[in-house]
C-alpha cells in the first residue's frame, strides 16, 4: 500500500523522470510490476540505499513516508521489469571489448544500460593470448569504477578453444586446442573474474578442461563446435551445462545425427543462450526451443558487436571486416553472421511479438535465469524485497523509458 502522507519535491512531481546518479531513497509508483510469477497492476516499489524495501499495489501505509522527503517516479501505468543481465556482449555504440581500453568498455556499458541492461559479461573473441591478457586486465579495472552504465559482472572467454570447422565470425588464425597451461594463466590473471568459457568439447583435451573449469565454479558453455550427439553428452557429463548461442556455430539437427543442438535441447540441465533477433534464429525455432526448454533453461543474449546503435556500414569484429546492411552484420569474406546489432529490449519485443512468449517469461529469461547462473539470484534478477534495485521501465511498445542500477538512475528518456 502507498503512504497517504509524504513530502514530494515539486520539481520531481512535474518531471516524469529525474536522473539521479547517487543511490537514493525513492518510490516508483503506478506501474505494472513484472514479478517472477505474476503481474502486479498499479504497483509500487520503495527503494532505500539501492535495495528494494517494499513492493505492493495501491496506496502504501503512512508510516513509511511520514515526515520524509521522497523522490517519486510515476510510471504512468507502464511496465516495470527487473534489469536485464546479458552474458554475451562483444560491443556497442561503435566500440568493442577487444579494443582493450577502459573508454571502450565503459562506453559499451553505458550504451546497453540505455536499453535496459543492468549487468553484463564483456565477451572476448578468439585472439592472441597477449591480447586476451590485456582485455582481462582492462575489464577488471573498469569493473571497480562507477561509470554510469551496466555493471560488469565478470568476463566471458569465447574461444580460443573452438573448432576450426565452426569458427563462424571468429578468427581461425588464433584457434588453438585446449591447453590447461593457458586456461590456468588466463583464469589466474583474472583473479576469479572469468565467469564463463565457451569451448568445443570434441577437441583433444577438452574434457579435462571442462572438468577443471567446473571445479573452479566457472560456467562451461558448448559453442563453436562440430561435436556429435554423443560427444556433447560426454561433455555435459563432465560439467558443460551451457550452450553458446544455440543453433549458431554448432552442428545442427539432422534426422540421423542430433548433434549439439539435440543434446542441448534434450538435456534438462543444459541452459541455452539464444540470440532473439529473428536472423540468427527464426521465430519458429525460438518457439521450438522455448517449448522444449521452458523459461527456466533459456537465457536471452544479444551477442552484440560494435555496430549496435550505429548506422549500416563497414565495421570490424576483432581483426575481421564486417558489413552491416539493414541491421544484419556479416563477414565480408565468407558471409557468416558476425555477432548482432540486437539490444536486450529488442530481444524482449521479439520474444513477445514474434514468438508469442508472455512478457513475464521473456523477462525471466533476460534477468532471472542469467542471475541464477552467475550465482547472483539472492541479490539480482527479479523484483523482490531485499534485492538490489536493478530496474527498467518499458513503455507500451516495450521500449526503455528509464534504467536504475543499484538504485542509481543511469538512463532516462
List 403's β-bridge partners, or say none: 392, 411
The verdict on whether residue 156 carries a ligand-binding annotation is no
The verdict on whether residue 366 carries a ligand-binding annotation is no
Which 3 state secondary structure label does DSSP give 410?
strand
The verdict on whether residue 389 carries a ligand-binding annotation is no
The verdict on whether residue 173 carries a ligand-binding annotation is no
CB–CB of 118/368 below 8 Å? no
What does the DSSP assignment read for 269-333?
T-EEEEETTSSSS-HHHHHHHHHHH-GGGEEEE--B-TTTTS-SEEEEETTEEEEEETTEEEETT
E strand or H helix that includes residue 138: helix 129-143
The verdict on whether residue 54 carries a ligand-binding annotation is no
Of 93, 99, 303, 390, the catalytic one is 303
List 188's β-bridge partners, or say none: none
Q: In what order do the strands lie in the sheet with 151-152?
A: 84-89, 117-122, 151-152
The verdict on whether residue 245 carries a ligand-binding annotation is yes
**All three cell numbers of 103:** 573508454
The verdict on whether residue 169 carries a ligand-binding annotation is yes
The verdict on whether residue 158 carries a ligand-binding annotation is yes
The verdict on whether residue 76 carries a ligand-binding annotation is no
**Nearest partner of 250 among 275, 273, 224, judged by Cα:** 224
Per-position b or e across 85-113, b if 16+ CB within 10 A of its CB? bbbbbbbbbbbbbbbbeeebbbbbbbbbb
Question: Could you tell me which residues come within 8 angstroms of residue 293 by beta carbon, excluding any fewer than 6 positions away?
Answer: 265, 272
Query: Is 361 an active-site residue?
Result: no
The verdict on whether residue 130 carries a ligand-binding annotation is no
The verdict on whether residue 339 carries a ligand-binding annotation is yes
DSSP state of 17: -
Q: Residues annotated in the binding site, as ranges? A: 158, 169, 224, 245, 248-249, 256, 280, 337-339
Q: Residues annotated in the binding site for Zn(2+), as ranges? A: 158, 224, 245
Q: Residues annotated in the binding site for substrate, as ranges? A: 169, 248-249, 256, 280, 337-339
Q: Which residues are catalytic?
A: 303
Amino acid at each position: 500500500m502507498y503512504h497517504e502522507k509524504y513530502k514530494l519535491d515539486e520539481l520531481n512531481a512535474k518531471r516524469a523522470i529525474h536522473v539521479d546518479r547517487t543511490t537514493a531513497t525513492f518510490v516508483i509508483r503506478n506501474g505494472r510490476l513484472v514479478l517472477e510469477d505474476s503481474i502486479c497492476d498499479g504497483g509500487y516499489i520503495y527503494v532505500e540505499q539501492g535495495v528494494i524495501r517494499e513492493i505492493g499495489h495501491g496506496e502504501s501505509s503512512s508510516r513509511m513516508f511520514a515526515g520524509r522527503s521522497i523522490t517519486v517516479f510515476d510510471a504512468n501505468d507502464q511496465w516495470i521489469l527487473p534489469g536485464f543481465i546479458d552474458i554475451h556482449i562483444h560491443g556497442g555504440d561503435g566500440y568493442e571489448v577487444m579494443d582493450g581500453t577502459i573508454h571502450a568498455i565503459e562506453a559499451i556499458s553505458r550504451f546497453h544500460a540505455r536499453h535496459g541492461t543492468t549487468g553484463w559479461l564483456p565477451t572476448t573473441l578468439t585472439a592472441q593470448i597477449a591480447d586476451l591478457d590485456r582485455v582481462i586486465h582492462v575489464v577488471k579495472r573498469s569493473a571497480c569504477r562507477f561509470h554510469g552504465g551496466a555493471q560488469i559482472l565478470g568476463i566471458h572467454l569465447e574461444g580460443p578453444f573452438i573448432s576450426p570447422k565452426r569458427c563462424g565470425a571468429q578468427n581461425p588464425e588464433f584457434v588453438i586446442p585446449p591447453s590447461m597451461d593457458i586456461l590456468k594463466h588466463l583464469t589466474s590473471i583474472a583473479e576469479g573474474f572469468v565467469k564463463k568459457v565457451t569451448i568445443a568439447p570434441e577437441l583433444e583435451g577438452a574434457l579435462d578442461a571442462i572438468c577443471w573449469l567446473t571445479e573452479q565454479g566457472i560456467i562451461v558453455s558448448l559453442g563453436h563446435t562440430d561435436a556429435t550427439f554423443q560427444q556433447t553428452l560426454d561433455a555435459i557429463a563432465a560439467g558443460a551445462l551451457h550452450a553458446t548461442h544455440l543453433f549458431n556455430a554448432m552442428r545442427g539437427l539432422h534426422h540421423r545425427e542430433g548433434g549439439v543442438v539435440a543434446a542441448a535441447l534434450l538435456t534438462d540441465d543444459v541452459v541455452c543462450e539464444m540470440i532473439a533477433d529473428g536472423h540468427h534464429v527464426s521465430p519458429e525455432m525460438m518457439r521450438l526451443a522455448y517449448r522444449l526448454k521452458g523459461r527456466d533453461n533459456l537465457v536471452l543474449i544479444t551477442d552484440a558487436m560494435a555496430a549496435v546503435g550505429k548506422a549500416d556500414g563497414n565495421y570490424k569484429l576483432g581483426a575481421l571486416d564486417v558489413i552491416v546492411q539493414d541491421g544484419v552484420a556479416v563477414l565480408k569474406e565468407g558471409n557468416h553472421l558476425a555477432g548482432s546489432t540486437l539490444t536486450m529490449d529488442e530481444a524482449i519485443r521479439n520474444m513477445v511479438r514474434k514468438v508469442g512468449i508472455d512478457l513475464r517469461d521473456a523477462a525471466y529469461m533476460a534477468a532471472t535465469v542469467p542471475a541464477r547462473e552467475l550465482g547472483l539470484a539472492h541479490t539480482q534478477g527479479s523484483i523482490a524485497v531485499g534485492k538490489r534495485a536493478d530496474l527498467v521501465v518499458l513503455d507500451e511498445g516495450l521500449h526503455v523509458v528509464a534504467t536504475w542500477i543499484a538504485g542509481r538512475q543511469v538512463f532516462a528518456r
